[in-house]
Chain A
């Protein structure tokens, strides 16, 4: 990459199952104000462009970025909306900086899942000609993927449950987390069965909230903070949409995205070169599958990895020390919160869930049925 993009600061709301007192724009104002204060800048004078991130169907509003200029003081400014997972919005913000067009941008993501029925919206993302009428939605997709994963590589539902125990337990140490729980594997397995083998506790809870960050070019980032976080690698890929055209555990899109990002960042041995990973696990089994594709273990060894304890908060390669999506994060905002958590790890601001001495992190976002599209960002600690 020519030139460097630095993330100066990040902010989040506390995530909650429902935020009945907050208009979507109240959430945007909250994270915007927080991140502007954290970066030590002036919203009106210093932010050159705003990249917003939301999905029209989730907001129930065509052009869901309509009120964003109001909420981010960007009347008469450049504002545009990325309609994909938040990690893509961060990538787009990085493109604004790398192109030389802007010195400093605000990236902000919002979603209130509680205002509508997400299952219907997931169903509407399935092709209308063949599959939508079957009632296909993401829990069913996850179940198909988990089943295939178990059949092919002999993983067990207990191993999936361990992810839930770990992540909801990690959430105890995260002040922004929605749902911290001390669970046993048994409790996870015995929770309501949604679609075998996916139980209720294996699925991310419904959540409301927002996230924002400030990106700047190298010169400005260094002036604003002694610890900018550099984006040193990026990769994003789609897979085929039709489930019949995919092997749900091959995850070609994520493998390619990781490979591209790692090549850019000079990572040849992920287990050694990376200190912490924040990934999107909408469903418990996804964490194990994504860790394989991210090169943290061999293919089919995701179950062994969680068994080994290496991905625990104090382990060799902590995965989702923040509690991940299982702690309660809304769709779309999800990827951006992973980047934000990674930024805080590298800036030493992750409080009780800090991974000591973290220098390099991987943040991951994904979307679509059983992870049809993935975005991987490699982040590195700047400064001392």
Chain B
């Protein structure tokens, strides 16, 4: 029995900071109808519908059951997973397991978040242990700022490189009608933004957006029947790590979840030159230093080379190895949705359907990543052909 799974439908909503005229269910419904239209399927074809997001952000518990009218899960199989920032990529992986197990042939996975309805930073601060570190985490940014400082210290990367990353992301987002922050910024604009948490200023952190993405996944036999341009989910790796400071590499060789994920994925798929054997990377980039730092950490380039690639312009949409041509999480961040959108955007690139932000290289294989939790990573490999 084949356990191959393809993405046969991609739908997303536009993303914005506030959308008071839509409630969470209606947001999900938009993404679902877009995905069904893209796949030319009906809701009745869906055998299981799964939605994922972070409960505390909107203040609801069991919200997959609460909103199943809008997702279409009422009367169907489905359940919920949530793992933090990686929840979106987890949804794609959950869908993969549903189909690859042989239990389902056609499923839909939805990632969504409506941040304007809750207090995100306060909610994220509860990822900590209540007894010992809850007073000392300031939302998601706290952890990201510390690794940015550490990266600058060990690699020679400067604030200017982070500014270049953000300026480049803005050029990409300007070409993506679904992105949230689409204003174009120069490097100088970014350097002058208000400091939020040293060294990350307002533009170097991701925004809080709201939006939803839905992907339809099918088994090999089903995909071949119903889809002209299936995007194959060739492989995926999930790596979670201990709670605390493994990302700093204290008293031991620094080995993060990204490194483990990259090493496993590339080895299993016989990829020795990722920048040639894959042609685009939709990276989960929640802060500007993420792109250069994690290009190194995913073992795509050598240590301390990441910021040099940024400097050369190699990671631009038309560059040698485009990273986050959609504008990435830096321009659009609705947490339950962000990682799934990376998979969706990477799939659009493989299909050649990314419109104005389609990369100039021909895409045969694409990478997508999710990030969250205590420095956890998901890494997915999408491919135009099965082999």
A/B contact in complex, CB under 8 angstroms: yes
Query: Which residues does A use to contact B, with CB under 8 Å?
Result: 1-3, 49, 55-57, 60-63, 65-70, 74-84, 88, 91-92, 94-96, 98-101, 121-122, 124-129, 234-242, 245, 252-253, 256, 367-368, 372-373, 375
A-B pairs with CB below 8 Å: how many? Answer: 187
Q: A66-B243, A80-B94 are in contact. List 4 more A-B contacts (CB 8 A).
A: A56-B56, A81-B82, A236-B79, A239-B74
B78 within 8 A of A: yes
B239: chain A residues at CB < 8 Å are 76-78
A80: chain B residues at CB < 8 Å are 81, 83, 90, 93-94, 238, 240
- B74, B83, B126: the one contacting A61 at CB < 8 Å is B126
Q: Is the CB–CB distance between B127 and A63 below 8 Å?
A: yes
A125: chain B residues at CB < 8 Å are 60-63, 65-66
Max chain B Cβ within 10 angstroms of own Cβ: one of A60, A61, A66, A74: A66
Q: List 27 A-B contacts (CB under 8 A).
A: A2-B102, A61-B129, A62-B55, A63-B54, A63-B82, A66-B243, A69-B242, A70-B243, A76-B239, A76-B241, A78-B238, A79-B238, A80-B83, A83-B81, A83-B82, A124-B60, A125-B61, A125-B63, A235-B77, A240-B68, A240-B74, A241-B68, A245-B74, A252-B75, A367-B65, A368-B65, A373-B65
A282 to B180, CA, bound (A): 44
Q: Is the CB–CB distance between A70 and B55 below 8 Å?
A: no
Assuming A56-B54, A129-B23, is B103 touching A1 (CB within 8 A)? yes
A116 to B101, CA, bound (A): 37
Q: How many residues of chain B get a CB closer than 8 Å to chain A's CBs?
A: 61
Q: Is the CB–CB distance between B66 and A127 below 8 Å?
A: yes
Assuming A63-B83, A373-B79, is B101 touching A128 (CB within 8 A)? no
Q: Is the CB–CB distance between A99 and B3 below 8 Å?
A: yes
What 5 pairs across the A-B complex have the smallest Cβ distances? A99-B100, A98-B101, A125-B62, A63-B84, A95-B101
B97: chain A residues at CB < 8 Å are 92, 95-96, 99, 101
Closest Cβ of chain A: how far from B120's Cβ, in Å? 10
A57: chain B residues at CB < 8 Å are 55-56, 61
Closest Cβ of chain A: how far from B219's Cβ, in Å? 11
Query: For chain B residues 43-95, which have a beta carbon within 8 Å of chain A?
Result: 54-57, 59-69, 73-84, 90, 93-94
Q: Is the CB–CB distance between A66 and B374 below 8 Å?
A: yes
B164: chain A residues at CB < 8 Å are none
Closest Cβ of chain B: how far from A327's Cβ, in Å? 24
Q: Is the CB–CB distance between B81 and A62 below 8 Å?
A: no
Q: Is the CB–CB distance between A124 and B68 below 8 Å?
A: no
The residue on B at minimum CB distance from A97 is: B101
Q: Is the CB–CB distance between A61 and B130 below 8 Å?
A: yes
A2 to B237, CA, bound (A): 23
Q: Is the CB–CB distance between A241 and B67 below 8 Å?
A: yes
B246 within 8 A of A: yes
Max chain A Cβ within 10 angstroms of own Cβ: one of B54, B82, B98: B82
B12 within 8 A of A: no
A236 to B128, CA, bound (A): 33
A65 to B90, CA, bound (A): 14
Q: Is the CB–CB distance between A237 and B77 below 8 Å?
A: yes
Q: Is the CB–CB distance between B83 and A65 below 8 Å?
A: yes
Q: Is the CB–CB distance between A75 and B124 below 8 Å?
A: no
- B73, B84, B129: the one contacting A238 at CB < 8 Å is B73
Closest Cβ of chain A: how far from B81's Cβ, in Å? 5
A252 to B76, CA, bound (A): 10
A238: chain B residues at CB < 8 Å are 65, 68, 73-78
The residue on A at minimum CB distance from B131 is: A23
B78: chain A residues at CB < 8 Å are 236, 238
Q: Is the CB–CB distance between A101 and B66 below 8 Å?
A: no
B127: chain A residues at CB < 8 Å are 61-63, 66
A122: chain B residues at CB < 8 Å are 61
- A62, A83, A241: the one contacting B80 at CB < 8 Å is A83
A127: chain B residues at CB < 8 Å are 66
Q: Is the CB–CB distance between B56 and A67 below 8 Å?
A: no
Q: Is the CB–CB distance between B62 and A368 below 8 Å?
A: yes
Query: For chain B residues 350-377, which have a beta carbon within 8 Å of chain A?
Result: 372-374
B75: chain A residues at CB < 8 Å are 237-240, 252-253, 256
B84: chain A residues at CB < 8 Å are 62-63, 66
Q: Is the CB–CB distance between B83 and A99 below 8 Å?
A: no
Closest Cβ of chain B: how far from A82's Cβ, in Å? 5
The residue on A at minimum CB distance from B60 is: A124
Closest Cβ of chain A: how far from B245's Cβ, in Å? 12
The residue on A at minimum CB distance from B240 is: A79
